[in-house]
Amino acid sequence: MKPTDTNNPDYFHKVVDCQWACPAHTPVPTYIRQIAQGDYTGAYLTNRASNVFPGILGRVCDRPCEPACRRGRVEEKPVAICRLKRVAADHKDDIKQYLPKKPSVLNGKKIALVGAGPASFTVANDLAPLGYNCTIYEKLSKPGGLMRSNIPAFRLPEEVLMEELNYIIDMGVKLKLNTPINSMRSLLQEGYDAIFVGSGAPKGKDLNLPGRWEDKKHIHIGINWLEEVAFEHTKKIGDNVLIIGVGNTAMDCCRTSLRLGAKSVKVMGRKPRSFFKASDWEVEDAEEENVEIIINHSPEGFITKNGRLTGMLFSIMEHDIDADGNILNSKSIAKVTIPCDDVILAIGQENAFPWIEVDAGIEFDQWNVPIVDKKTFESTKKGVFFGGDSAFGPKNIIWAVEHGHQAAISIHNHCRGVSLKQRAPDEIKLKSTKMGMFEWSYSNSYDESERRKMEHVDLVKRFSKLNMEVEVGYSPDQIATEVQRCLNCDIQTVFDAPKCTECDACIDICPVECLSITENTHNEDIIRKSLNSDKNELNQSLFISEELKFTNRIMVKDENICLHCGLCAERCPTAAWDMSEGIVKIHHADSQDTEYVSEVIK
């Protein structure tokens, strides 16, 4: 097989599973090392450069990084990446001096941003320091988008939200609250150089079953209801509440109901738990608060008496599930009525653009979702861009941030007459971490501690106020232990084939046997066999070296199981292996023109 091209920035980037899995490619191991060194401010700024809202995301991110974490291949639980992000945000110093400022001379370009959510704020964050005049339009009286209206304050306190939004507002971004945009056509006529639509997917799905319209007052749409609670229009709910749906919104609804005085809250799912859309930890947190999770109940109708909701009718389902966990067949085996005072529907949300006129020049597909370029985020109308949930339907905050970064590059190019396709490619810098005999500039020894458990405010106390934050954050001891669990996957094993004397020392020392020297063949299966490599994880790369000088064999490494402990490099008598920090440079709008050449610093 051909030697691996490690100059391709994606090769080493992919090895850092958490960073690769993060839509915004946050350099996780870098910030965890900064936390380990007590540099919370540095860790915060590292985060902010990629994901803009470390304090917010450190609490409520969907954490695509954690299931990807290499640690999860060694033991049950990944590194608490998200919690450590919050650590950086909680313990940082005043960071205002390190943030980009509004330039004294603007560039004369005006950008309109629709919706004050994470996507629009990210665009503003990237463009305002470059001299763009950004105006955010928001229909509600406070900014934040779904971060404010859908995420309850007991998970995300308002101070945290406002702190991070204010950093961006302070860059000279104009925020027009209580200003809904009712017409795209008239917005287009206001002379903006570009328009960004980040208005989310604001329409909660309804459940049109018998009895639905007989009691409108006690049947709620989840996201609308959460918004009413967030803006204090709704302050109480009945004793017995049913939540229909098993996503993260359902978990927020059930926990919010408890805080509004509900005595008994049941979350009703149609399928078994393995099919739940909610993150495991959100389900766990709800159960800790004595929310009942009921599976295999499919809603059939609303039961009312004299126009007042009294219960819901469900079919009890039986599912035929195959070995791979797919449902082959479902059937109803019985019917049951569960009494309740209120029902909250949390079964999904969709895009809605009643304010974009048919003839505004923006094309929509058959599901009424705008046609948006997946790379440039431009709609079919030049100069109009979409991002966040409004682009491709509901995702999450971290995706909205990444959409914002990409849309900002497009807007920047659009405004200075550069092709939208001309985007600075990702780059990688490699820097040796060797400091001397058995000395590396990172903590390479394997720490076998298990994941630290986040402490919660005790049950009685947490219901005293609607906005009492439940998670208390990590203690100093927990921080010190958790940071050591990170395997430093960004410290890459870099192999210099001509130096190798084929003594096998690296292969022998490797605690997970991820190395092998073998005959070169075109058959990847044979090469994998020499490694005892797990075939089920073929999405992980094999490193193939150039041919070695004595026998023309090749050094092979299975990136899947490598723990980046550096023992191969410590043991190599000729320093053919080196542990080099791979710094992935991902360009945002501000560095599109910067000359940054991939280089290897030895």
DSSP 14: H
Partnered with residue 264 across adjacent β-strands are 240
Distance of closest approach, residue 490 Cβ to another protein, in angstroms? 19
Select from 49, 74, 352, 466 the one that contacts another protein (CB under 8 A): 74
If binding is defined by CB under 8 A, does position 470 make contact with another protein?
Answer: no
Neighbours of 361 (CB within 10 A): 16
Q: Which is nearer to another protein, 467 or 481 (CB)?
A: 481
Contact 335, 315 (CB under 8 A): yes
Task: Pick the piece of the chain touching another protein (CB under 8 A) from 113-121, 288-296, 503-511, 584-592.
Answer: 503-511
Q: Are 370 and 353 in contact (CB under 8 A)?
A: yes
Cα(351)–Cα(335) distance, integer angstroms: 34
> Least distance in Å: CB of 366 to another protein?
43
CA 64 to chain centre: 5
Residues 399, 50: contact at Cβ < 8 Å? no
Residues 6+ apart with CB under 8 A from 100: 128, 129, 171, 590
* Cβ atoms of residues 492 and 15 within 8 Å: yes
Report the nearest approach of another protein to the CB of residue 512 (Å). Answer: 6
- Nearer CB in complex with another protein: 467/518: 518
Which range binds another protein by CB under 8 A, 14-22, 456-464, 497-505, 593-601?
497-505
Candidates 252-260, 356-364, 504-512, 580-588; binding stretch for another protein (CB under 8 A) = 504-512
Q: Nearest distance from residue 532's CB to another protein, in Å?
A: 6
* Residue closer to another protein (CB basis): 298 or 518: 518
Select the residue interacting with another protein from 41, 446, 496, 587 (CB under 8 A): 446
Among 63, 73, 91, 110, binds another protein (CB under 8 A): 73
- Per CB under 8 A, the segment of 69-77, 349-357, 452-460, 476-484 that binds another protein is 69-77
SS3 content of the chain, % helix, strand, coil (to 5): 35, 20, 45
Binding mask 390-429 for another protein (x = CB under 8 A): ----------------------------------------
Give phi and psi for 20, each to the nearest 5: -65, -40
Number of C-alpha atoms within 13 angstroms, CB side, residue 286? 28
* Paired strand residues for 266: 242, 292
- Region near another protein per CB under 8 A, out of 305-313, 323-331, 389-397, 498-506: 498-506
If the CB atoms of residues 335 and 529 are measured against another protein, the closer one turns out to be: 529
Among 32, 398, 565, 584, binds another protein (CB under 8 A): 565
Q: Does 445 bind another protein (CB under 8 A)?
A: yes
**Site mask, another protein, residues 567-596, x = CB under 8 A?**
x--xxxxx----------------------
CA distance 133 to 342: 46
In degrees and rounded to multiples of 5, residue 206 shows phi and psi of -100, 165
Q: How far apart are CA 249 and CA 256, in angstroms?
A: 10
Does position 450 bind another protein by CB under 8 A? Answer: no
Q: Rule CB under 8 A: choose which of 7, 75, 101, 461 binds another protein.
A: 75
Least distance from another protein to the Cβ atom of residue 559, Å: 14
Q: Return the range that interacts with another protein (CB under 8 A); candidates 183-191, 225-233, 285-293, 562-570.
A: 562-570
Query: Helix, strand or coil for residue 551?
Result: coil
x/- mask, another protein, residues 506-525, rule CB under 8 A, reads -xxx-xxx------------
Instruction: Determine which residue in the list 324, 359, 365, 448 makes contact with another protein, applying CB under 8 A.
Output: 448
In whole angstroms, give the CA distance from residue 196 to residue 110: 11
Distance CA 68, CA 30 (A): 17
- Amino acid at site 286: A
Residue 286 near residue 255 (C-beta atoms within 8 A): yes
Among 226, 561, 584, 586, indicate the residue that binds another protein (CB under 8 A).
561
Shortest Cβ distance from residue 558 to another protein (Å)?
Answer: 11
Smallest distance, another protein to C-beta of residue 568, A: 10
Closest C-alpha among 204, 187, 202, 99 to residue 136:
187
Closest CA to 293 of 255, 342, 337: 255
Contact between residue 490 and residue 26 where contact means Cβ atoms under 8 Å apart: no
Q: What is the 3-state secondary structure (H, E, C) of 392-446?
A: HCCCCHHHHHHHHHHHHHHHHHHHCCCCCCCCCCCEEEEEECEEECCEECCCCCC
Running DSSP on this structure, what letter comes out for residue 4?
P
Contact range with another protein by CB under 8 A, out of 84-92, 185-193, 340-348, 531-539 = 531-539
Among 563, 579, 584, 589, binds another protein (CB under 8 A): 563
Number of residues that bind another protein (CB under 8 A): 34
Task: Compare residues 77 and 587 and give the one whose CB is closer to another protein.
Answer: 77
505 in contact with another protein (CB under 8 A): yes
Give the number of residues written for the chain: 602
Tell me the window of 235-243, 281-289, 440-448, 453-461 that interacts with another protein (CB under 8 A): 440-448
- Identify the residue among 166, 290, 475, 551 touching another protein (CB under 8 A): 551
- Binding track over 99-138 against another protein, x by CB under 8 A: ----------------------------------------
Q: Which stretch binds another protein (CB under 8 A): 87-95, 145-153, 321-329, 499-507?
A: 499-507
| Under 8 Å between Cβ of 571 and 509 | yes
User: Alpha-carbon dihedral of residues 79, 82, 84, 88, nearest 10 degrees?
Assistant: 160
As a whole number of angstroms, the distance between CA 578 and CA 567 comes to 10
Is residue 434 close enough to count as binding another protein by CB under 8 A?
no
The site for another protein (CB under 8 A) is made up of 73-75, 437-438, 445-446, 448, 501-505, 507-509, 511-513, 532, 534, 536-537, 550-551, 561, 563, 565, 567, 570-574
